[in-house]
Amino acid sequence: TEPPSGAAECRALPNPAVAAPPVAGYGSCTHRSGSLKISCYLSRARSSRTACTMMVAAALLACARAAAPQARSASTGPGSFAGKTALVTGAASGIGLRCAQRLAERGARVVGVVSRESRVRAFKEHVGDGHPCVVADLSQVADVRRAAAEAGDVDALVNAAGVGAMASFLDVETDAFDQCVAVNCRAPLVLSQCVARNMIARGVPGAVVRGANQPSERL
């Protein structure tokens, strides 16, 4: 499956400016391509509620910082996502669901990504029928790219999906380890690349947020 329609090849962005993180977390960076600005934030928290607050705040601040001053509408405050589309992985439960709800409350069109068909109902019930939902296996690169393609033009990406291998060090199976790496590391990379390529092709600013709580870091 190809990346979103019209997506350009994502070339290396020279001299990324690294700014201080806007919220508690690991850090942030801003990439520029001409006049285009894409802000990326990585956050980490011990609870889903704290992580949700951090990630939504990061997305809000990233969009506000990335948007050109002349493009900002006086009718929408810095906490508004009106007219924007947010793509959220892991959107049926935990941090992902909380982020999806908060973004929808702020006016965003939320595209949720869930792991199986049975989770679509939970997303719709808590976020709203007007928000689309994509079923994708994030351990498969083709599914990750398909999710990006189905989401279309995205202004903010929240990588909230995560899995963990709940076993002692000596009992961790290699298949479980591979699953963790694929979902927790590779999927956010591929999805962020697809979304960033689309933003570059459209010439619009945007935000990419990656968050994790303690369970998703366990191997």
In a domain, 5, yes or no: no
In a domain, 95, yes or no: yes
| 111: β partners | 87
Q: For the whole model, what pTM was predicted?
A: 0.73
Q: What is the pLDDT of residues 175-191, one digit of tens each?
A: 999 999 999 999 999 99
Residues 2 and 146: their CA atoms lie apart, in Å, by 7
In a domain, 203, yes or no: yes
In a domain, 8, yes or no: no
Domain that holds residue 108: 27-70+78-217
Mean pLDDT of 81-94: 92
Q: Looking at residue 59, which CATH number applies to its domain? A: 3.40.50.720
Per the structure, the count of domains in the chain is 1
In a domain, 2, yes or no: no
Q: What is the pLDDT of residues 111-121, one digit of tens each?
A: 999 999 999 99
